[in-house]
Amino acid sequence: MMNSLPLAGITVISLEQAVAAPYATRQLADLGARVIKIERPGVGDFARGYDDTVHGESSYFVWLNRSKESLTLDLKSAVGQQLLRELLTDADVFLQNLGPGATRRMGLGADDLKDSHPRLIVCDITGYGEGPWQSRKAYDLLVQAEAGLLSVSGTEQEVAKAGISVADIAAGSFAYSGILAALYSRATTGDAPAVTVSLFEALAEWMGSPMYYSQYGGTPSRRTGARHATIAPYGPFSVGDGGTVLLAIQNQPEWERFCTQVLDLPGLVDDPRFAKNPVRVLNREELEAIVTAAIEPLSADELEKKLEAAGIANARMNTMEQLWDHPVLSERERWRDVQTPGGQVRALLPPAVLRGVQARMDPVPALGEHTIAILRELGRDDAEIARLREVHVV
């Protein structure tokens, strides 16, 4: 049975802000990596200021930054850059999602560090990658628009953004897996490949299904609200008690059971309007009217029981409060207590469970909380640390 965390002994230096890079490094920290988060003196990661809902801290920051160390450095100063270079000497990973070209201007790009730090894995998260749009700003909602996500989200009357920072999360996920692959490459071949991820290309990858559907099907995916664009019936249905149940038919046997065991309408099974999924999608409005009429006498609980008995996938449209108290999370003991600068909060364990490994769930750092300790590791005494504070380098 494993006891130590898989990434124990790995040191990550991160010039990170907002969501994408902090999401990648938090996952590395979950697995035991030491993550030193470099923040601007007095200000910090600007995500600290997004809101103050979690004991005075930002909900984004609390979610993304547990188990990290916060070091403040003014990287516009030569002394700050020198301290960063010293940190990189013994680091394994250097990750950044600053503005375009910021690390190259400091002489700290992947190419700059390749010869002097051959075992250092450099990961750059950008908006659009190198090329014609490399200087263009790329905030999450803008990338959702450019990658076509908005064109397939919402209703026929109005587009809608995803309710979470999906482009940032996609990029952070690919950065995390890319860094793990680079660490494996270094361990097995000695080569430490640089990793680059762009928000746009990460989200474009996630748009594969509607892209193929539109390109090869000849028609763009429709915006269908909470209904599936290419499968029917698949979406929310209201019942007699005012409740809403989301149900999904994935294959022909499920369709047959749905008609016979849930709707009590066996004649629908071979009805030419609905016999196969492509024609069900074409006749969606008519089909949904029939389904709604058939289930109207039922309560949400009664419909859920019938769907479960027939082996039909279903779900409730939960609120955030209902998710917080969800029985799956509580009964599987997925919550842990984590300390923040303002108080204790509950936090979910990482979704990837490694048997025999207890994920690291350490505190969320206050701004600059570890500055003195890290500077002492670099050989600075108290007098020099005081001077660095006086001139606002840290």
In the block, tokens 């750092």 appear at: 365
Query: What tokens were used for 189?
Result: 């071949």
Residue 219 is predicted with a pLDDT of 82
Ramachandran class of 279: left when φ > 0, alpha when ψ lies in -120 to 50, beta otherwise: alpha
Burial class (CB within 10 angstroms; exposed 0-12, middle 13-18, buried 19+) of 302: middle
Residue 99 is predicted with a pLDDT of 87
pLDDT less than 70: residues of the chain: 1-3
Domains of the chain: 11-207+331-390 (3.40.50.10540), 234-316 (3.30.1540.10)
Burial class (CB within 10 angstroms; exposed 0-12, middle 13-18, buried 19+) of 215: exposed
First to last CA, the chain: 42
- Taking every pair of Cα atoms in the chain, the longest distance, rounded to a whole number of angstroms, is 86
pTM for the structure as a whole: 0.92
With beta carbons less than 8 A apart as the criterion, state whether 246 and 315 touch.
yes
**Alpha carbon distances (Å) from 154 to 71, 150, 223:** 42, 7, 6
DSSP 173-223: HHHHHHHHHHHHHHHHHS----EEEEHHHHHHHHTHHHHHHHHHHSSPPPP
Residue 1 is predicted with a pLDDT of 39
